[in-house]
């Protein structure tokens, strides 16, 4: 195949869209979203359909012990590790049609396009569907890719239970996806196409996000302890108001993120007050802090500023503040050559593109620990995701899939 012929290669946008809509019917919600929670019967139906499509496209299907599904298209050189495209098909409880499903079906569309045009590659091509990326039923999140990359053990993952006591291992066996293929097999390169889940591409009118890495994350649980008091008879100066103290920290978390612009993020998403009665000065406030930053030094600086703010507010409000780190994801920088392949694919097709850092975690962040990796973002409407209203344009999804096609070909060799 000549270089010209390769650059003319285009995926079938209508077929990609049709597959997305067909898969979205499994677990569809009245508001147009999808509820297909990991390792449920609906997840099994989704998996069954994807496996059927894989086989119809001539892929050799295998499952590993954590239920990751791989579909392999042979290359000329069976000794080369595969170039893999993937993502996940499980959704949030109130999820959308594109988060995850797009990355898997874009990989499948690449294979179908290669089949249509009879394109052979040097390295094998694989499409991967990772188990339980969302983490809404079983934690940790990004479970399948995490086990694959050795971030935590298979045994740990299989033993995790949901709120009803069902285990990952038991549910995998029940739905027939506890495979026996080897875990953590070599990957030559990994590409994940995904909706951005944020507003930047749409705001800047770009079609392709060339994702250079992912923000590191440090999550904290914070507990403020003051003292319950009757809101009427207790003078302001004698109060130990836990919510007042918590509110000051909420403001500090925001301020700290602004000092780390443009990539620093600080969020308090969870807040619980005790006794939570309108005429009682709150004695306890619990809340979460979510810091994200592209550099570990930045994350550490944010934590130091948080601790300093807590110490100051303890004095101001006569309360005690306990801070516990509960999650740490180091910042992730994707592979320079994989990033270049994505950038070149966008430029060759003439899509306006922007280098972007992923604010969210993705399976690619774990896979990047064991293989050269990059991601491709496409815009989603109003930046909305993890929501039944999640939406994306067929043309943008097709553009991302074309970039995926060319990035994979450039790494696999044609």
Instruction: Report the alpha-carbon distance of residue 259 to residue 261 in Å, rounded.
Output: 6
Joined tokens for residue 376: 């491709």
Residue 228, Cβ neighbours under 10 Å: how many? 16
Instruction: Answer yes or no whether residue 235 interacts with a second copy by CB under 8 A.
Output: yes
Q: Does 370 bind a second copy (CB under 8 A)?
A: no
According to the 3-state scheme, what is the secondary structure of 342-406? HHHHHHHHCCCEEEEEECCCCHHHHHCCCCCEEEEEECCHHHCCCCCCCCCCHHHHHHHHHHHHH
| Position among 10, 35, 44, 248 found at the interface with a second copy (CB under 8 A) | 248
Q: By CB under 8 A, tell whether 198 contacts a second copy.
A: yes
**Residue 43 or 252 having the CB closest to a second copy:** 252
The answer to the question of residue 264 lying near a second copy (CB under 8 A) is yes
Q: Using CB under 8 A, which of the segments 2-10, 112-120, 267-275, 363-371 binds a second copy?
A: 267-275
CB of 406 to a second copy, least distance (A): 25
- Binding residue for a second copy (CB under 8 A) from 217, 353, 373, 410? 217
Rg (CA), the chain: 23
CA dist 186 and 295 (Å) reads 28
* By CB under 8 A, residue 276 contacts a second copy: yes
Query: CB under 8 A: which stretch of 32-40, 183-191, 244-252, 343-351 binds a second copy?
Result: 244-252
| Between 231 and 336, CB nearer to a second copy | 231
Q: Which of 71, 361, 372, 379 binds a second copy (CB under 8 A)?
A: 361
| 68 within 8 A of 148, measured Cβ to Cβ | yes
Is 108:54 a contact under the CB 8 Å cutoff? yes
Query: 126 with 82: CB under 8 angstroms?
Result: yes
Part of the chain binding a second copy (CB under 8 A), chosen from 102-110, 119-127, 231-239, 330-338: 231-239
| Closest to a second copy by CB, 205 or 278 | 278
Strands 69-73 and 60-63: antiparallel
Element (H, E) at 308: helix 296-317
Taking the least distance from each CB to a second copy, the nearer of 89 and 246 is 246
Q: How far apart are CA 13 and CA 397, in angstroms?
A: 8
270 versus 328: smaller Cβ distance to a second copy: 270
Give the pairing type, strands 353-358 and 83-88. unpaired
Is 410 near a second copy (CB under 8 A)? no
CA distance 300 to 60: 45
Q: Is there binding between residue 284 and a second copy (CB under 8 A)? A: no
Query: Binding to a second copy by residue 281, rule CB under 8 A?
Result: yes
Pick 57 or 271: Cβ nearer a second copy: 271
Helix (H, G, I), strand (E, B) or coil at 209: strand
Could you tell me which stretch among 12-20, 22-30, 81-89, 198-206 binds a second copy (CB under 8 A)? 198-206
Pairing of strands 69-73, 83-88: unpaired
Say if residues 75 and 372 touch (Cβ distance below 8 Å). Answer: no
User: Which listed residue (385, 407, 409, 410) binds a second copy by CB under 8 A?
Assistant: 385
Which of 166, 273 has the CB closer to a second copy? 273
293 binds a second copy (CB under 8 A): no
Burial 248-278 (b: 16+ CB within 10 A, else e): bbbebbeebbeebeeebbbebeeeebeeeee
- Binding residue for a second copy (CB under 8 A) from 176, 184, 251, 330? 251
Nearer to a second copy, 104 or 250 (CB): 250
Q: Which of 200, 340, 348, 354 binds a second copy (CB under 8 A)?
A: 200
CB of 263 to a second copy, least distance (A): 9
Hey, what are 119's tokens? 């394109």
Residue 154 vs 384, nearer CB to a second copy: 384
Structure tokens at 118: 């009879």
- Note whether 280 binds a second copy by CB under 8 A: yes
CB of 236 to a second copy, least distance (A): 5
Among residues 387, 393, 394, 413, the one that binds a second copy under rule CB under 8 A: 387
Tell me how far apart the alpha carbons of residues 127 and 111 are, in angstroms, rounded to a whole number: 8
Footprint on this chain of a second copy (rule: CB under 8 A): 196-200, 203, 215, 217, 219, 228-236, 238, 241, 243-244, 246-248, 250-251, 254, 257-258, 261-262, 264-273, 275-282, 288, 290, 292, 358-361, 383-387
């Amino acid at each position: 195949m000549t270089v010209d012929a390769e650059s003319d290669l285009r995926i079938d946008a209508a077929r990609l869209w049709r597959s997305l809509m067909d898969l979205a019917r499994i677990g569809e919600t009245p508001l147009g979203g999808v509820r297909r929670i990991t390792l449920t019967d609906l997840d099994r139906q989704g998996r069954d359909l994807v496996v059927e499509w894989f086989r119809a496209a001539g892929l050799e299907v295998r499952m590993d012990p954590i239920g990751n599904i791989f579909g392999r298209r042979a290359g000329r050189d069976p000794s080369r590790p595969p170039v893999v495209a993937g993502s996940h098909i499980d959704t949030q409880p109130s999820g959308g049609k594109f988060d995850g499903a797009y990355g898997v079906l874009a990989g499948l569309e690449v294979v179908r396009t290669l089949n249509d045009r009879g394109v052979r590659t040097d390295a094998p091509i694989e499409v991967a569907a990772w188990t339980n990326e969302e983490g809404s039923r079983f934690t940790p999140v990004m479970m399948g890719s995490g086990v694959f990359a050795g971030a935590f053990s298979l045994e740990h993952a299989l033993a995790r239970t949901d709120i009803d006591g069902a285990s990952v291992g038991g549910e995998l066996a029940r739905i027939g996806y506890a495979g026996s293929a080897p875990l953590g097999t070599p990957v030559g390169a990994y590409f994940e196409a995904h909706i951005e889940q944020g507003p930047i591409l749409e705001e800047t009118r770009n079609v392709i996000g060339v994702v250079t890495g992912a923000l590191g994350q440090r999550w904290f649980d914070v507990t403020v302890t003051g003292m319950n008091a009757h809101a009427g008879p207790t003078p302001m100066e004698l109060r130990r108001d836990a919510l007042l103290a918590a509110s000051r920290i909420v403001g500090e978390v925001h301020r700290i993120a602004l000092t780390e612009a443009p990539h620093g993020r600080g969020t308090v998403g969870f807040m619980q007050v005790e006794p939570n009665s309108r005429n009682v000065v709150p004695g306890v406030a619990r809340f979460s802090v979510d810091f994200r930053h592209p550099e570990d030094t930045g994350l550490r600086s944010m934590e130091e500023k948080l601790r300093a703010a807590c110490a100051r507010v303890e004095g101001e409000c006569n309360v005690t503040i306990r801070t516990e780190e509960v999650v740490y994801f180091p910042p992730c920088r994707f592979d320079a050559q994989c990033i270049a392949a994505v950038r070149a694919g966008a430029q060759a097709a003439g899509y306006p593109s922007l280098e972007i850092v992923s604010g969210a975690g993705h399976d690619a962040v774990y896979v990047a620990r064991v293989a050269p990796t990059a991601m491709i973002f496409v815009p989603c409407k109003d930046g909305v995701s993890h929501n039944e209203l999640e939406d994306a344009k067929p043309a943008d999804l097709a553009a991302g899939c074309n970039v995926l096609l060319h990035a994979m070909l450039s790494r696999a060799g044609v």
